[in-house]
Amino acid sequence: MKGLAWHSPCQFFVAEDWLDEESCRQAVQILLIKYGLVAVLMASLVATVLFSLGVGLSASASRVLTDVRRLEVVLLASVGLVALFFLLLRKFTPGTLSGTSTGEDHT
């Protein structure tokens, strides 16, 4: 078992005959969706609390709102660039990101 290189999270479970490939991929997708939802909800909660504290404790709420808008635009642009990067990466390298084997035998 030592020295094996796993290219996908499912390869170990399939190799040990614990799950079939399709069930494992579905489980991984569900876990990633749950992780994403929890991450988004927690980030929203933290941002809401910090924003509320900033507006409540600031002498000039309009300045805080202007700074927040500017930060939101920068973050939105960053997320867009990262999404575009991964979209292009997936488009130009479909075999390596889809979990298919590269033909190497690591057993």
DSSP result, the chain: -TT---SSHHHHHHHTTSS-HHHHHHHHHHHHHHHHHHHHHHHHHHHHHHHHHHHHH-S-HHHHHHHHHHHHHHHHHHHHHHHHHHHHHHHH-HHHHTT---S----
pLDDT along the chain (107 residues), means of 10: 58 69 78 89 88 73 78 89 89 62 50
pLDDT for the residue 42: 93
What local confidence, expressed as pLDDT, does residue 39 receive?
92
Q: How many CA atoms lie within 13 A of 68 on its CB side?
A: 15
Q: What is the pLDDT of residue 1?
A: 47
What pLDDT, on a 0 to 100 scale, did the predictor assign at position 2?
Answer: 52
pLDDT of residue 84: 92
Answering whether pTM is above 0.75, one says no
